[in-house]
Amino acid sequence: MTGSWATFGADLHLDLAAGRGLRAALTEALREAARSGRLAPGTRLPSSRSFAADLGIARNTVAEAYAELVAEGWLTARQGSGTRVAERARPRRAAAAARTRHPARRGPAYSLLPGSPDLGAFPRMAWAAAARRALTDAPNEAFGYATDARGRVELREALAGYLARARGVYADPDRIVLCAGFAHALMLLGRVLRERRVREVAVEGYGLDVHRDLLTGAGLTTRPLWLDGDGARTTDLAGFGPRTGAVLLTPAHQFPTGAALTPGRRAAAVDWARTGGGLILEDDYDGEFRYDRQPVGALQGLDPDRVVYLGTASKSLSPALRMGWMVVPPDLLDEVLAAKGRTDWTSSALEQLTLARFIGSGAYDRHVRGMRLRYRRRRDELVAALAGKVPVSGIAAGLHAVLDLPAGAERSLVQAAAWQDLALEGLARYRHPDSDLPVRDALVVGYGTPSDSAWAPALAALLAALP
């Protein structure tokens, strides 16, 4: 009997060697399955009666095979627990790999890298409650293939209300396009800009290289804008010429310098876009977390026809959700949808429905308010601990601060932090390679990243690294 199928709660293929007695063939097949790891340690085997029925053989044959393997130590049999694969039955390949594998390199014990929220603060219970309600209320068609590239209408409607109320965004649900985070949105917009024969996008002199790479990957070049305490110097856009068809900005809280774009420079950006037909791509980076100032609304509110608003749940909830959104000007919508494709393949419809429920129930607002208080306490503790040591800037909002250093000190302090088992980044990491900004030595400290238990030792490691 070769190639028989038996059911162990899940299908398992056993090769019962031809030319041997049934008991011997079954014993060897089970032994090899345990030895190779196909039957994992702790796996419960079926009763001898049901297994015999599955294989079409006598029950005694199965019972004798079990007994022999118990005697050899491959199986265990206890009253009330049934017959299981013994815990000491380890796969040969796994054991060999354990002998030859090089020890894994351990990362730093603590991290103050920017760009991440406190992952331990994800609102698991509230999210689970929203998921249960969303699953109960979901229409049957939500479990089928998605046909609207914009994403679930329930989430688009919830976002339209929230963004209008909390960020001052003009957001018609029909103009919201859901995507798998900011990078996905920027990739789509890069395609659209290239199709529109745009050749150059202005970007801030300091920013994420991955965002610049996405634009260059779409066939565009990036041109750096000057940065200072008032944010990007958008008045320079008028002199950039017709090649520059768009500008990427973080107006609410510039990453990584932390400056907020002033009203005059916001107006200059919008005037440039209106005059030359350009587009503003607004990355509303951690705009919900402000501490020492009145809320700064989205730039999109000044001209919804010239600004593409981009937001995500990555900083407010978790980057693991892979949930982002664009509010698209009317004349750009068809092109964005064409770039995305005819179906919404980027995120689970059930997660979209869960986030819609989470926002609609007020749980999202409560979570953001709670995290705002938590991050503000950390920021205050950081500023107090560094008083008299180094100047700290960019702290009116967001999840990171900038620590200005003496000239030439940045690299050595990043290395000193590594010796303290602390992951830390310098400002030079974010500088545009073509920028003519003066060199500024600084550390970018992400105080939102550590868990509550890791925050104090991470701060202590930072202080130990400083001279």
3-state secondary structure 11-32: EEEECCCCCCCHHHHHHHHHHH
User: Residue 287: its pLDDT value, please?
Assistant: 79
User: Residue 13: its pLDDT value, please?
Assistant: 64
Q: Which residues 6+ apart lie within 8 Å of 161 measured at CB? A: 359
Q: Give yes or no for residue 8 having a pLDDT over 50.
A: no
Residue type, 311: G
User: Residue 2: its pLDDT value, please?
Assistant: 43
Q: Where are the domains of the chain?
A: 4-99, 110-116+365-465, 129-361
* % of residues, the chain, pLDDT over 90: 69
User: What's the first-to-final CA gap in the chain, in angstroms?
Assistant: 76
pLDDT band at 3 (very low <50, low <70, confident <90, very high): very low
Helix (H) or strand (E) holding 179: strand 176-179
Most distant CA atoms of the chain, gap in Å: 90
Measured CA to CA, the distance from residue 211 to residue 229 in angstroms comes to 22
Q: Give domain 110-116+365-465's CATH architecture.
A: Alpha-Beta Complex (3.90)
> Do the beta carbons of residue 266 and residue 230 sit within 8 Å?
no
* CA-closest candidate to residue 446, choices 454, 436, 438: 454
User: Residue 346: its pLDDT value, please?
Assistant: 74
Q: Which residue has the higher pLDDT, 341 or 154?
A: 154
Q: Which residue has the higher pLDDT, 312 or 96?
A: 312
Measured CA to CA, the distance from residue 301 to residue 127 in angstroms comes to 30
**Both tokens assigned to 299:** 């730039």
Q: Which residue has the higher pLDDT, 53 or 5?
A: 53
* Upper half-sphere CA count for residue 30 (Cβ side, 13 Å): 31
* CA-closest candidate to residue 355, choices 320, 380, 391: 320
Query: Which CATH number describes the domain made up of 4-99?
Result: 1.10.10.10
Please state the rounded mean pLDDT for residues 276-304. Answer: 88
3-state secondary structure 283-316: ECCCCCCECCCCCCCCHHHHCCCCEEEEEECCCC
Q: What is the dihedral of CA 427, 432, 437, 442, to 10 degrees?
A: 0
Q: Which residue has the higher pLDDT, 297 or 233?
A: 233
* CA-closest candidate to residue 308, choices 146, 116, 176, 213: 176
Phi first, then psi, for residue 438 (nearest 5°) are -60, 145
Please state the rounded mean pLDDT for residues 207-218. Answer: 95
> Do the beta carbons of residue 280 and residue 364 sit within 8 Å?
no
- Decide whether 4-99 matches 110-116+365-465 in CATH topology: no
pLDDT band at 87 (very low <50, low <70, confident <90, very high): confident
- The strand pairing partners of 248, in sequence order, are 281
User: Residue 147: its pLDDT value, please?
Assistant: 84
Q: Which residues 6+ apart lie within 8 Å of 402 measured at CB? A: 256, 257, 258, 392, 393, 394, 427, 442, 443, 444, 445
Distance of CA 381 to the CA centre of its chain: 27
- Domain 129-361 falls under CATH 3.40.640.10: yes
- Give Rg (Cα) of the chain: 29
User: Residue 353: its pLDDT value, please?
Assistant: 97
Please state the pTM of the whole predicted model. 0.82
Could you list the beta-strand ranges (E) of 340-420.
Answer: 392-393, 401-404
* CA-closest candidate to residue 29, choices 58, 5, 49, 60: 5
Runs of H (alpha helix) within 387-447: 410-419
Please state the rounded mean pLDDT for residues 273-295. Answer: 88
Residue type, 261: L
Give CA angle at 323 (317, 328), nearest 5°: 120
Q: Please state, rounded to an integer, the average pLDDT across all residues of the chain.
A: 89
Please state the rounded mean pLDDT for residues 166-189. Answer: 94
User: Residue 80: its pLDDT value, please?
Assistant: 72
